[in-house]
Amino acid sequence: MTTALKLTGLSKSFPVGKRLFGPPKALVRAVQPLSLAVEAGETLGIVGESGCGKSTLARMLVGLLPPSSGTIEINGEPLDNADPAFFGRKIQYVFQDPISSLNPRKTIRQIMDAPLKHLHNMPAATRADRIREIFSAVNLREEFLDRYPHEFSGGQAQRIGIARALAADARILILDEPVSALDVSVQAQVLNLLADLKERFGLTYLFISHDLAVVEAVSDRVAVLYFGSVVEVGPADEVFAHPKHPYTKLLADSAPVVGRPLTAPEGRETELPDPLNPPAGCAFRARCAFASDQCGSEAPRLEGQSDGVRVACYHPIAD
């Protein structure tokens, strides 16, 4: 197996309180320095709640946001230029909101044409053939090509979004909450389509979601994000069956499951830490039942455990 995507020390800070001249008043760390590797043909699930930095991470990976530090390597080649057109041929993005990711004033054909024309300089005749091919791969009828985005349901629009990403002929797709705006019956259709496409075209996925069950159903490996850092990463079945980080366990226990009685798995008033005033040490400390003095002094690093799982915790939960 080769490494398709490798992130080393990637981080992003946003300035707060911009001034016309001079430095900003403060910096908010949306993504702490983070290192991850995705193997070719793998699906890496990224789980986290709102504000954990998963969308910022995704936007950095496709070049829509320049990272504050760190490097991105695709197939061993570093990507040091923040030009989406250059990124676009190697790595593509599927958006969360399928309707708003399509320009309301363009036909689907114009939307599909763009990556072929601008990324691959394809002549018109070849483009038409290629679009037909891709459309049949995502089970869309060709007559849709001359319609406008508002004529489609969410599920159809998401297939169009996936088709556009495929048209760029990139081998790596970043799927940013691709099904969270869809109804459950349609969600399953899209997830199955994604699995099928991956098989057919040998794709590598980075699947970002807040829904643990969905991530579990599609991922080979999972990384859990909290407050901009990876707190646990490992094989999907291992991470969900035996969560080692207290936050992963909290997430798994909070998901409503048929047949499990209603419990509030933690104190009912806890909130996320303030990004403008980040806590010292482990960011999860205030919500954690196992917190000790050590947790307050220095943030724990990701360290290897059994079964290929790595956890950033001084007191990982034993089985």
Partner 1 sequence: MMAFLKLLARNRLALGGLIVMGLVVVLALITPLLPLADPDVTNTAQRFKRPFSDGALLGTDHLGRDLLSRLLWGTRLSLAVGFAAAIIAATLGAAIGIIAGFYGGRTDNIIMRGVDMLMAFPYILLALAIVAALGPGLMNALIAVAAVNIPFFARNIRGITVGIAHKEFVDAARLSGMTDTRIILTEVLPNVIPVIVIAMSTTIGWMILETAGLSFLGLGSQPPQADLGSMLGEARSALITNPHTSVVPGAMILIIVMAINLLGDGVRDALDPRLKSGALSRPMPTTMVKRTGLPPEAKADTLLALRGLKTQFQVKDRIYKAVGGVDLQVNPGECLGVIGESGSGKSVTALSIMGLVASPPGVITGGAVHYKGEDLIGAPYEKLRSLRGDRIAYIFQDPLATLHPLYTVGEQLIEAVRAHHSIDRSKARAHAIDLLKSVRIPNAEVRIDSYPHEMSGGMRQRVGIAMALANEPEVIIADEPTTALDVTVQAQILSLLDDLRRQRGLAIIFITHDFGVVAQLCDRVAVMYAGRIVEEGPTQTVLNAPAHPYTSRLMACVPELGQGRRELAAIPGLPPVVDKLPEGCAFADRCHKATDACRQGNIELVRHGAENMVRCIAPETPAQEASQ
- Among the listed residues 212, 224, 233, 299, the single contact to partner 1 using CB under 8 A: 212
263 near partner 1, judged by CB under 8 A: yes
Which distant-in-sequence residues (6+ apart) come within 8 Å of 184 by Cβ?
none
Which of 32-40, 266-274, 275-283, 300-308 is the region at the interface with partner 1 (rule: CB under 8 A)? 266-274
d(CA 67, CA 77): 17
d(CA 125, CA 217): 39
- Distance in Å, CB of 310 to partner 1, minimum: 20
- For 64, the token pair is 């829509």
Sheet holding 26-39, edge to edge: 26-39, 3-16, 69-74, 77-78
Q: Select 26 or 257, whichever has its Cβ closest to partner 1.
A: 257
Q: Select 103 or 306, whichever has its Cβ closest to partner 1.
A: 103
Site for partner 1 in 152-191 (CB under 8 A): 153, 155, 161, 164, 168, 183-189, 191
Site for partner 1 in 218-247 (CB under 8 A): 218-220, 236-237, 240-241
- What is the DSSP pairing of strand 3-16 with strand 26-39? antiparallel
Which amino acid does the sequence have at 146?
A: D
- Among the listed residues 16, 17, 24, 64, the single contact to partner 1 using CB under 8 A: 64
Which of 4-12, 253-261, 290-298, 307-315 is the region at the interface with partner 1 (rule: CB under 8 A)? 253-261
Site for partner 1 in 115-144 (CB under 8 A): 115, 117-119
Number of residues assigned to the chain: 319
Which of 3-11, 26-34, 199-207, 250-258 is the region at the interface with partner 1 (rule: CB under 8 A)? 250-258
d(CA 82, CA 29): 20
CA 43 to chain centre: 11
Site for partner 1 in 73-92 (CB under 8 A): 84-85, 87-89, 92
- Distance in Å, CB of 186 to partner 1, minimum: 7
Residue 32 sits at φ, ψ, to 5 deg, of: -75, 160
Q: Select 124 or 184, whichever has its Cβ closest to partner 1.
A: 184
Half-sphere exposure (Cβ direction) of 225: Cα atoms closer than 13 Å: 30
Site for partner 1 in 272-311 (CB under 8 A): 272
- Distance in Å, CB of 189 to partner 1, minimum: 4
256 near partner 1, judged by CB under 8 A: yes
d(CA 135, CA 149): 15
- Among the listed residues 157, 216, 284, 295, the single contact to partner 1 using CB under 8 A: 216
101 near partner 1, judged by CB under 8 A: yes
Question: Can you spell out the DSSP letters for 135-147?
Answer: HHHTT--GGGGGS
- Distance in Å, CB of 56 to partner 1, minimum: 13
Site for partner 1 in 191-210 (CB under 8 A): 191-192, 195, 210
Which residues face 7 on adjacent strands?
Answer: 36, 72
Half-sphere exposure (Cβ direction) of 292: Cα atoms closer than 13 Å: 6
114 near partner 1, judged by CB under 8 A: yes
